[in-house]
Amino acid sequence: MAMRILVVGAGAVGGYFGGRLAEAGRDVTFLVHARRAEKIRSDGLRILSPHGDLTLHPKTIQAKDLTAAYDVILLSVKAYALEAAINDFAPGLGAETMILPVLNGMRHIELLTSRFGERSVIGGVCIVAAEMDKDDRIVQLADAQQLTYGERDGGTSERMNALDETMQNAGFDARLSKNITQEMWQKWVQLASIGAVSCLLRGNIGEIEAVPGGADLSLKILGECSAIATACGYAPGDDFLTRIRAAMTTPGSQLTSSMYRDLVNGNRVEVDQILGDLLTRARNLGIAAPLIDAAFVNLSIYQNRLAAK
């Protein structure tokens, strides 16, 4: 039986993966607000991508009309919008519904399991660089497009095999992981490291590397993030660290983070979820992380100024 998928939000990430799933013939419905629903009805869900542009008119629904349960809820909102989103999609949750979150950090897992229970929440990691342009089109900025999922305890299950079957051959790289929690932590280390250095120094990796001390500072921030993850029981793997060290010190690299792109565009940033939560765990374990602390304070000042406007 085909899985019914509810994608919460049709922004850069949810719109991209949900759009590809819909294009591949999966049963996808987007849970959106009224303005976004009207935009999709009038102009379609539009994706500009190195893998092929796409315009489609998928099914949409608003929270007030949500009554039936779905098999999978693909949750891709910004972390600061999670609590509102939970109330919106809760009526679409049944006894066997899997919530597949691809948010940044780990705080969302605690919020979701406290509301819906441990079994309902599986693990997820997405890798895609995408943003919304001024015309509400989803623009993919690089080739990578991967969605990874798995039981958070590392086990196997019939439901996960069914999810994997649904995700395969849907226009992106899909992978079932038996170590998804470790992969979620590693992505958090990557996001926090690149986000902290790019936002703190206001530049991409190539610009940072090009100045004296830039690459060394990048590696020190990565070291702080890695030390916190290790103390929490999720030491980053050697292959991961080798890859990220190289990515953070590549001359001429245009690499940034979504948090940096939000900052440059004058938008709200996920500072509490990506850096603040990491710092809270560090303090609880007695670990000093002065560079992450500096980035957190810097971005918190920016966030407060934004809220005051």
Separation of alpha carbons 261 and 159, rounded Å: 36
166-171 long-range CB contacts below 8 Å, 24 or more apart?
A: 166/2, 166/3, 166/5, 166/26, 166/72, 167/21, 169/24, 170/20, 170/21, 170/23, 170/24, 170/26, 171/20, 171/21, 171/23, 171/24, 171/51
**Are the CB atoms for 189 and 277 separated by under 8 Å?**
no
In contact, 19 and 12? CB cutoff 8 Å? no
Catalytic position from the list 39, 78, 178, 187:
187
Backbone torsion region of residue 154, taken as left when φ is above 0, otherwise alpha when ψ lies between -120 and 50, otherwise beta: left
For residue 293, the SS3 value is: helix
Q: Which amino acid is at 61?
A: I
Element (H, E) at 301: helix 290-308
DSSP 8-class letter at 235:
P
Query: Is 187 one of the annotated active-site residues of the chain?
Result: yes
For 136, left (φ over 0), alpha (ψ -120 to 50), or beta?
left
Residues taking part in catalysis? 187
